[in-house]
């Protein structure tokens, strides 16, 4: 039975429309508004949501990892229970297409279940135990035992480009829930009905498992004020955000200016440099061109890991390669963009770039007029010298656009690598005979990115233990953390040490008997043994 979209905020499992302002979403394939109106949340509603989250936290901070794992599994099941309605609603609001959305749904439910596995294994609390040394001279040593605990209510800002995996029940929410933190989601205004469906699924899981209603709320809104009110609410302990540099920085600034500042884990823009070394191009240029175009046009180029910058060394092969990529880009029909503001933003960004000196446009560079939001697949080129002199050329073109940077020599390419700003990823394509050059580049690129990819493409971010989806500013505001992968949970936890606390009063993870059977660092060594 399909869910009836009511267009309201969902505050602690109750629909709420105290405000008067509404907004609508637009189908990017038709530029027509979708049939529902959504209520902008007002301050009192945001306050209710955060207060309910605070109340919920008084309970959820005591929940066992197993209880939280069951909840994550239930949320995954309830998302699946939304069935085709979810796919069609999201497709109508995003134009991403059913196959892609089906894949993204699997990723989203898979991610929730992976966090469930992490919780059941249990070692994620980072238990560290220094046993007492009562006979130590000159002073005895106390027993000190430390583990991570949940931080408190988390505000999550949804992304437009991943309506499932980085939205209402996406990575930020999944990792915050896994940590034991209640979540207040600010839905992305371009897919509000999709967001409401996810809220329905999460609320069903809350009912099924008798979780406190305030463990989750959904706030709708298409104004900056809604987000700012949420971030500056004293009850919010941390923020997860995926979106543009401008919006992410505004939220970071608001959080830093609070009387009690809070961390903002914002994943923002990235151009994801790809370096194609000469022998790799010579050996398998055609495969590389096909792979690059596929990565560039995935989701109409609207991936945070889109390869927006390609660095090469000047040669006839390089010229031929760029021509080949331009032809392939030109031959592929450009996809639908998520919304009018992305179309406009992309048009402005490319227009700014092509006005800079020494920029050549191989193909594209214009909005595609028609029923849909659409921008031509675009290939630009500049020299390494121009690139190094112009920081503006490192700004993101969010869409199916890449900028080739051609160096006169390997030395000049290395100079360009040194000039790179922070990015989520960097990629090197190399042949066996490029290994020496590659090693130096790899270690230099390491300084400015979160993930280094070898002979692959940056799009497609595995949800796994070792994944690092982050990087130095402006890629993120918190380069020591990741928004994808299992360590994402650490963003929403904080260590507390217990000194000489009797075993019976310690949390299970720190008790002598190790009743959770987890890995712990005991007196400096890893162990699952009891003490």
- Note if 267 is an active site residue: yes
Which 122-151 residues touch a copy of itself, going by CB under 8 A? 123, 128-130, 139, 141-142, 144-146, 149, 151
Q: Which of residues 156-185 bind a copy of itself (CB under 8 A)?
A: none
Site for a copy of itself in 447-476 (CB under 8 A): 447, 449-456, 460, 462, 464-468, 470, 472-474
What six digits make up the tokens of 259? 């009387």
Catalytic, out of 70, 267, 343, 396? 267
Single out the residue of 439, 513, 515, 530 in contact with a copy of itself (rule: CB under 8 A): 439
Residue 6 binds a copy of itself (CB under 8 A): no
Rounded Cα distance between 452 and 468, Å, is: 10
C-beta closer to a copy of itself: residue 31 or 120: 120
- Number of chain positions touching a copy of itself (CB under 8 A): 74
By CB under 8 A, tell whether 246 contacts a copy of itself: no
Q: What letters, b where the CB count within 10 A reaches 16 and e where it falls short, cover 258-286?
A: eeeebbbbbbbbbbbbbbbbbbbbebebe
Minimum CB–partner distance for residue 316 and a copy of itself (Å): 28
Tell me which stretch binds a copy of itself (CB under 8 A): 25-33, 172-180, 196-204, 439-447: 439-447
Among residues 218, 183, 209, 267, the alpha carbon closest in space to that of 492 is found at 183
253 touching a copy of itself, by CB under 8 A: yes
Q: How far is the CB of 262 from a copy of itself (least distance, A)?
A: 8
CB of 86 closer than 8 Å to CB of 79:
yes
Binding mask 64-83 for a copy of itself (x = CB under 8 A): --------------------
DSSP 134-172: TT-SSSPBPPEEEEEEE---EEEEPPSS-TTTTSTTSHH
In angstroms, the CA 168 to CA 154 distance is 12
523 binds a copy of itself (CB under 8 A): yes
Closest distance of CB 468 from a copy of itself, Å: 4
> Does residue 530 interact with a copy of itself by CB under 8 A?
no
Q: 272, 295, 274: which is closest to 425 by C-alpha?
A: 272
Residues from 470 through 509 that contact a copy of itself (CB under 8 A): 470, 472-474, 477, 479-480, 482, 487, 490, 493-502, 504-505
Interface with a copy of itself, residue 392, by CB under 8 A: no
If one asks whether residue 367 binds a copy of itself (CB under 8 A), the answer comes out as no
Q: Please say which residue, 372 or 455, places its beta carbon nearer to a copy of itself.
A: 455
Quick check: 187 binds a copy of itself (CB under 8 A)?
A: no
Q: What whole-number distance in Å separates Cα of residue 9 and Cα of residue 138?
A: 62
Catalytically annotated residue among 181, 190, 304, 374: 304
Q: How many CB atoms lie within 10 A of CB 452?
A: 16
Report the distance separating Cα 297 and Cα 156, nearest Å. 28
Q: Measure the CA–CA gap between 444 and 116, rounded to whole angstroms.
A: 36
Residues sharing a CB contact under 8 Å with residue 207, sequence separation 6 or more, in sequence order: 13
Q: Which of 62, 66, 246, 530 binds a copy of itself (CB under 8 A)?
A: 62
What H or E segment, with its residue span, contains residue 264? Answer: strand 264-267
Closest contact distance (angstroms) between CB of 233 and a copy of itself is 15
For a copy of itself, the closer of residues 334 and 471 by Cβ is 471
Kind plus residue range of the DSSP H or E element containing 284: helix 278-297
How far is residue 443's CA from residue 421's CA, in Å, rounded to a whole number? 15
Nearer to a copy of itself among residue 150 and residue 364 (C-beta): 150
Q: Answer yes or no: are the C-beta atoms of 247 and 345 closer than 8 Å.
A: no
Is 374 an annotated catalytic residue? no
| Contact flag: residue 301 with a copy of itself (CB under 8 A) | no
Which residue number, 23 or 519, has a Cβ lying nearer to a copy of itself? 519
Residue 15 CB partners (closer than 8 Å, separation 6+): 6, 8, 9
Least distance between a copy of itself and beta carbon 480 (Å): 5
CB of 51 to a copy of itself, least distance (A): 15
Residue length of the chain: 531
CA distance 129 to 522: 5
- Token look-up 């999460």 returns 202
Active site residue ranges: 267, 304
């Amino acid at each position: 039975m399909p869910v009836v979209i009511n267009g309201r905020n969902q505050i602690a499992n109750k629909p709420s429309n105290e405000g008067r302002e509404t907004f609508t979403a637009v189908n990017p394939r038709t530029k027509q508004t979708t049939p529902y109106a959504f209520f902008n949340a007002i301050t009192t509603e945001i306050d209710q949501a955060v207060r309910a989250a605070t109340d919920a936290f008084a309970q959820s901070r005591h929940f066992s990892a197993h209880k939280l794992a069951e909840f994550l599994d239930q949320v995954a099941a309830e998302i699946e229970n939304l069935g085709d309605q979810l796919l069609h609603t999201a497709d109508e609001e995003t134009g991403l297409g059913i196959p892609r959305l089906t894949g993204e749904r699997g990723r989203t439910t898979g991610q929730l279940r992976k966090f469930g596995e992490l919780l059941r294994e249990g070692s994620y609390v980072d238990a560290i135990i220094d046993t007492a040394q009562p006979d130590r001279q000159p002073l005895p040593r106390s027993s000190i035992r430390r583990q991570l605990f949940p931080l408190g209510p988390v505000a999550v800002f949804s992304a437009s480009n991943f309506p499932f995996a980085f939205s209402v029940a996406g990575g930020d929410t999944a990792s915050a829930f896994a940590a034991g933190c209640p979540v207040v989601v600010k839905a992305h205004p371009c897919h509000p009905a999709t967001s409401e469906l996810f809220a329905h699924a999460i609320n069903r899981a809350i009912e099924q498992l008798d979780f406190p209603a305030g463990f989750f709320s959904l706030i709708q809104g298409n104004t900056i004020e809604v987000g700012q009110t949420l971030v500056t609410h004293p009850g919010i302990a941390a923020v997860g955000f995926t979106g543009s540099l401008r919006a992410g920085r505004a939220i970071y600034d608001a959080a830093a200016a609070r009387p009690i500042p809070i961390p903002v884990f914002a994943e923002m823009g990235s151009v994801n440099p790809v370096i194609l070394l000469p022998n790799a191009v010579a050996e398998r240029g055609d495969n590389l061109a096909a792979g690059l175009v596929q990565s560039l046009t995935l989701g109409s180029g609207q991936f945070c890991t889109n390869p927006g910058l390609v660095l090469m060394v000047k040669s006839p092969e390089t010229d031929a390669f760029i021509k080949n990529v331009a032809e392939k880009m030109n031959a592929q029909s450009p996809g639908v963009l998520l919304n009018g503001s992305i179309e406009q933003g992309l048009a402005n960004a490319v227009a700014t770039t092509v006005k800079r000196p020494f920029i050549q446009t191989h193909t594209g560079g214009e909005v595609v007029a028609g029923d849909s939001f659409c921008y031509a697949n675009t290939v630009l080129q500049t020299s390494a010298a121009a690139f190094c002199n112009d920081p503006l050329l490192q700004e993101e073109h969010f869409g199916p656009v890449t900028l080739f940077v051609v160096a006169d020599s390997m030395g000049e390419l290395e100079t360009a690598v040194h000039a790179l700003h922070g990015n989520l990823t960097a990629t090197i394509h190399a042949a066996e005979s490029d290994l020496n050059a590659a090693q130096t580049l790899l270690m230099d690129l390491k300084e400015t990115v979160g993930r280094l990819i070898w002979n692959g493409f940056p799009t497609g971010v595995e949800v796994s233990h070792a994944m690092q989806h982050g990087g130095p500013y402006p890629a993120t505001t918190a380069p020591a953390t990741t928004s994808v992968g299992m360590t994402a949970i650490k963003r929403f936890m904080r260590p507390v040490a217990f000194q000489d606390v009797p075993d019976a009063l310690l949390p299970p993870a720190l008790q002598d008997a190790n009743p959770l059977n987890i890995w712990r660092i005991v007196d400096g060594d890893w162990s699952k043994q009891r003490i």
